[in-house]
């Protein structure tokens, strides 16, 4: 299959880490006089100006309700205007990334994976905290209502296990703020997705538990008593490749 055809087959974008993608574009364009980011900003501002003009016309109806032209301009120039500009910049970065991703070294295309949250991991808690907060558990050791907010403050990236048809596992890390179209972690397990990702290191499945994350760095590597006497499974200690995900989407026909 031709490289130029690959981006065109994406029919749904579920996740896009535009900050990481922007960094990759800048690194790729390193020797040029004008950086990729500057090109994106120029194109976004031009598109924003066109959208601004259209928005100004739409906001004229405010005067019929007693709103002055200054109020209409203020609405245009503040929240609405910023939203249009941010959306334009985001879409411009996405377009540039799709055009150039096949030429960016270090980005792997991962397909045929099923993703799940490791039991007792922060990702597992993040996925199901909203449902848990609906339950009335008087003897719960922590406040379930504040659990989701606590996790959002504690972590920016969440790790999921991804296995292919042969059972080979790897760890995919997701920026919780990079999901698009109202998707979230819980939706990933239900979809046939392709991932663009960068390998960043290695870790074991056992290291993903909240207990392991909160343990001192040296203590997390020590075997438990159960492992030493053979009373626990040891398949969670194998080192797995860790990837930071740049993009996740649905391919036509996948």
pLDDT per position as a tens digit, 227-254: 544 544 545 789 999 999 999 999 876 5
Please say which residue of 79, 105, 131 terminates a domain.
105
- Based on the fold, state whether residues 115 and 101 are members of the same structural domain: no
Higher pLDDT, 43 or 170: 170
Whether 153 and 74 map to the same domain: the answer is no
203 and 97: one domain? no
Contact, 242 vs 110, CB < 8 A? Answer: no
Does residue 194 sit in the same domain as residue 154? yes
Q: Is 181 helix (H, G, I), strand (E, B) or coil?
A: coil
Q: Is the pLDDT of residue 133 over 90?
A: no
Q: Please tell me the distance from the alpha carbon of residue 63 to that of residue 65, in angstroms, as a whole number.
A: 5
- In this structure, are 69 and 143 located in the same domain? no
Query: Which residue segment(s) compose the domain that 22 sits in?
Result: 3-105
What would the pLDDT profile of 144-171 be if each residue is shown by its tens digit? 566 666 776 778 899 999 999 999 999 9
Tell me, yes or no, whether 97 and 113 share the same domain: no
Q: 126 and 234 share a domain?
A: yes
Q: Which residue has the higher pLDDT, 71 or 23?
A: 23
| Cβ burial 119-142 (10 Å sphere, 16+ → b, else e) | eebbbbbbbebeeebeeeeeeeee
Lowest mean pLDDT among 22-26, 43-47, 75-79, 108-112: 75-79
pLDDT at 29: 79
What is the tally of structural domains in the chain? 2
Judgement on whether residues 166 and 95 belong to the same structural domain of the protein: no
Indicate whether 115 and 232 sit together in one domain. yes
- What percentage of the chain carries pLDDT values higher than 90? 34
**DSSP-assigned beta bridge partners for residue 247:** 16, 196
Query: What are 81-116's pLDDT values in tens digits?
Result: 566 666 777 788 899 999 888 888 899 999 999 999
Helices (H), ranges, 59-132: 69-75, 81-100, 122-132
Shared domain for 123 and 180, answered yes or no, is yes
């Amino acid at each position: 299959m031709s490289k130029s055809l690959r981006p065109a087959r994406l029919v749904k974008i579920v996740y896009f880490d535009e900050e990481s993608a922007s960094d990759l574009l800048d690194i790729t364009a390193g020797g040029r006089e004008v950086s990729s980011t500057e090109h994106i900003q120029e194109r976004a501002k031009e598109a924003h100006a066109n959208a601004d003009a259209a928005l100004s016309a739409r906001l004229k109806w405010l005067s019929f309700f007693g709103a002055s032209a200054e109020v209409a301009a203020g609405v245009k120039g503040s929240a609405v205007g910023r939203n249009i500009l941010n959306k334009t910049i985001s879409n411009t970065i996405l377009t540039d990334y799709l055009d150039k991703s096949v030429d960016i070294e270090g980005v792997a295309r991962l397909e045929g994976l099923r993703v799940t949250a490791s039991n007792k991991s922060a990702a597992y808690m993040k996925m199901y905290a909203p449902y848990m907060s609906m339950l009335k558990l008087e003897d719960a050791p922590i406040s379930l209502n504040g659990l989701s907010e606590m996790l959002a403050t504690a972590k920016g990236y969440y790790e999921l296990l991804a296995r292919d048809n042969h059972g080979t596992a790897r760890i995919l890390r997701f920026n919780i703020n990079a999901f698009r179209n109202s998707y979230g972690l819980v939706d990933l397990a239900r979809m046939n997705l392709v991932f663009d990702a960068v390998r960043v290191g290695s870790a074991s499945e056992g290291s993903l538990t909240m207990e392991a994350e909160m343990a001192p760095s040296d203590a997390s590597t020590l075997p438990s008593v159960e492992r030493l006497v053979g009373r626990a499974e040891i398949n969670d200690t194998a080192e797995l490749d860790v990837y930071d995900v740049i993009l996740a989407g649905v391919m036509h026909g996948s």
